[in-house]
Amino acid sequence: MDATMSPALLDVQDLRVRLKAGTTEIAPVDGVTFSVARGEALGIVGESGSGKSLTLKAILGLLPPGSKLDGSLRFSVSADDVEEVGPDQMRGRGVSMIFQEPMTALNPTMRVGRLVAEGARGIGLSRRDAKRRSVELLDAVGVPNARERSRMWPHELSGGLRQRVMIAAALSTEPALLLCDEPTTALDVTVQDQILGPLAQLRRDLDMAMVFVTHDLAVIAEVCDRIAVMYAGRIVELGSTQDVLAAPQHPYTAALLASAPSFQKGSGRLEGIGGQPPDPRAFPPGCRFAPRCRLVRDDCHTAAHQLTMVGSHETACVHPELLLPEVAK
C-alpha cells in the first residue's frame, strides 16, 4: 500500500498512554507510531503487558478513567476526504471492536438479532431492513439457522457462536476499520478456524481494514498482511508478515519465534526468553529488551528507541547484524 497516494485510514503518531499507578505515573504504551491503509490487516503481537490491548483501546477512546493520551490519532473517513477526525466521531460508525470474551461483551438482556440490528439501525436502516440485515450478517459470519438463532439470548449460545454474534454486531455499522482484541484466544482451534475463515472473507468483501491483537504468531501469519511486534510499550519491529516471520530483524521477534513449539520439528529444547518483561514502573534505559537479550552489546543500554529500515522492514534493534548468523543457522 502506498501511503503517499491517499491518506492512510488510520494514522497513529507517537501514541502514549499514561496511567496513575499509586503515586507515580506509568506509560504502558510509550511512543507507538504506525498507520493502517484502507483494507489492510495489521497484526499486533506481544506478551502480556506489552501494551498491545491498551493501544487498541486508545484508538477507540476506551481508556480507563484518569488516563492521559498523548500523541496524535487521526482517521480519514474516505479516500477523497482529507478531513481528519478523532476517535469520538469514528466510534460506532467508522470503527468497531470485538473483544476476547463474548459473554461479557454482549448485552445479556437483548436477543442476539436485536444486538446486531441495533448497529444497522444506527447507520440509518429502517427497523425492517435492520432486522433483515442482522439475519444476513449472522448468516455471513457462519451462524447456522441464522433466522431462528437471531431470536435466542446470548446465554443460549456456545462460546464460538457468541463470538460470531459479536463479529456480526461489529460489522453491522459497516465499519472501515475493525479492531480485534484476541477474539479467538479462548476458543478451540476448530472453532477458531471457523471464525477466522468468514472474517477473512468478509474483510475482503467489505474492503475493511483490521487491527488484530493477539499473542499467537501463527494466527497473525494466517490473517494479517503486516505485523507489528510490541515490547514494553513500544513497537520493536514492523513489516510485512512474511518478511518479519521469515527473517526477523529484532532479537525479541526471533526469540518469540524460537519459543513457540512447532508442528514440524519433533521434540527438542525450546529456546524461551530468560527473565520477565520489565515492570512499566521501571523500564530499563536504552533498548528495553537489552536486559533479556542474548546478543546484547554495551551501547544497547544507551541506544535511543527508533525504528530504522533494515533489509525489507523496520526494526528498533541497533545491532540487527548480530542476528544474521543466528537466522542462517
For residues 260 and 217, is the Cβ–Cβ distance under 8 A? yes
Of the residues 4, 269, 298, 304, which one makes contact with other proteins according to CB under 8 A: 269
Residue with cell 505485523: 227
Of the residues 140, 273, 290, 316, which one makes contact with other proteins according to CB under 8 A: 273
CA distance 273 to 210: 29
Amino acid at 269: R
Nearer to other proteins, 85 or 258 (CB): 258
Minimum separation from the CB atom of position 90 to other proteins (A): 27
Nearer to other proteins, 27 or 200 (CB): 200
Nearer to other proteins, 85 or 191 (CB): 191
Minimum separation from the CB atom of position 4 to other proteins (A): 29
Minimum separation from the CB atom of position 126 to other proteins (A): 32
- Helix ranges, 110-267 (H): 112-122, 127-140, 146-149, 159-171, 189-206, 217-223, 241-246, 251-259
Nearer to other proteins, 95 or 273 (CB): 273
Backbone φ and ψ for 58, nearest 5 degrees, come out as -65, -35
Site for other proteins in 17-36 (CB under 8 A): none
Q: Is 196 in the site for other proteins (CB under 8 A)?
A: yes
Q: Is 91 in the site for other proteins (CB under 8 A)?
A: no
Q: Is 266 in the site for other proteins (CB under 8 A)?
A: yes
Question: Which residues, in sequence order, are CB contacts of 113 under 8 Å at separation 6+?
Answer: 131, 134, 135, 138, 149, 150, 151
Strands in the chain per DSSP E? 10-21, 24-36, 41-45, 68-76, 84-85, 95-98, 177-181, 209-214, 226-231, 234-240, 308-310, 313-315
Q: Is 63 in the site for other proteins (CB under 8 A)?
A: no
Minimum separation from the CB atom of position 184 to other proteins (A): 9
The three three-digit cell numbers of residue 208, written as one number: 475493511
Minimum separation from the CB atom of position 142 to other proteins (A): 9
Size of the site for other proteins (CB under 8 A): 48
Q: Is 271 in the site for other proteins (CB under 8 A)?
A: yes
Q: Is 272 in the site for other proteins (CB under 8 A)?
A: yes
Between strands 41-45 and 209-214, the pairing is parallel
Q: Give exposure, 308-319, as e/b (b: 16+ Cβ within 10 Å).
A: eebeebbbbbbb
Q: Is 103 in the site for other proteins (CB under 8 A)?
A: no
Binding range to other proteins, per CB under 8 A, among 10-18, 19-27, 99-107, 190-198: 190-198
Give strand pairing partners of 91: 95
Query: Site map for other proteins, 240-259, x if CB under 8 A?
Result: -----x---------xxxxx
Minimum separation from the CB atom of position 53 to other proteins (A): 13
For residues 53 and 90, is the Cβ–Cβ distance under 8 A? no
Q: Is 55 in the site for other proteins (CB under 8 A)?
A: no
Backbone φ and ψ for 109, nearest 5 degrees, come out as -100, 10
Query: Site map for other proteins, 146-175, x if CB under 8 A?
Result: ------------xxxx--------------
For residues 50 and 10, is the Cβ–Cβ distance under 8 A? no
Of the residues 200, 206, 303, 322, which one makes contact with other proteins according to CB under 8 A: 200
Nearer to other proteins, 127 or 204 (CB): 204
Q: Which residues bind other proteins (CB under 8 A)?
A: 47-48, 144, 158-161, 188-194, 196-201, 215-219, 221-223, 245, 255-264, 266-267, 269-274, 276
